[in-house]
Structures are given as structure tokens and as C-alpha cells.
Amino acid sequence: MSVRGVGIDLIELARVRDTLARHGARFLEKVLSEEERAYVAGLPDPVPHVAARIAAKEAAFKALQAAGLASPVSWLQVAVRRDDAGRPTLVVPEADAAGLRLHLSLTHGELVAAAVVIAEG
């Protein structure tokens, strides 16, 4: 397998916090899957985790485009899940269908969240 695409994204937590204050659940329903919404709802401060998931999706879009995935992918077609060891993984049926394996790294601090996605195939 070889690297077919790389994507990176950085999200400011203040921007996510402001958007959630203005639009609340309606915003989350547009950008997070039901499983993702359930996960962040159980956290004391969901904002860093929401931001990390948005960054992961943006990074995935970039990596998939670089890998030549022709069909557009929507916010709800990309989901961040945790594997049995607690590591974040990406679920993107279109990538699976195209024979791409996605690798995800997430991080967040006091001000920002970031994600890197590598598409291999």
C-alpha cells in the first residue's frame, strides 16, 4: 500500500463554542453522526471533542480528495469512532469502497483542536 492522500485541519475552540451557543443541537445534527453526538453529550466539556471531530472530517475530506475519490462525501458520511483500545478511527464507507484505508490522529488543547488523516491504498 502507498500513501494516496494527506489531510490536516485546525479548528478554534472559541468558534465551535460560539456556534454551539447560537445553534445548539441543530448544528450538531448537521455535522455529527448520532453516535458522535451521544459520545460528546456525555462529556463535561464537549467543545474540544466536537472541534476535534470537525477537524477530523475536514482532514478526511482533504485526504480523500487528494486520493482521487471522485464522489463527494458529506459531514454525516464521515464518523469518528473509538476502537477497543480507545483510539480514534474514521468510518467512511466511500473510502472502504474505493479500497482506501484511513489513518487518523487527533489532538486538542485549550484553544484549538487538530486532526491529520492519511489515506493509504
Is the pLDDT score of 73 beyond 90? no
Q: Confirm if 26 and 77 have CB atoms less than 8 A apart.
A: no
Q: What is the CATH number of domain 3-120?
A: 3.90.470.20
pLDDT tens-digit series, residues 84-107: 999 999 999 999 999 999 999 999
Q: Which pTM was predicted? A: 0.95
Confidence of residue 60 (pLDDT cuts 50, 70, 90): very high
Which positions ≥6 away from 99 have C-beta within 8 Å? 121
Domain positions in the chain: 3-120
* Residues 12, 8: Cα–Cα separation, whole Å: 14
Cβ atoms within 10 A of the Cβ of 7, count?
24
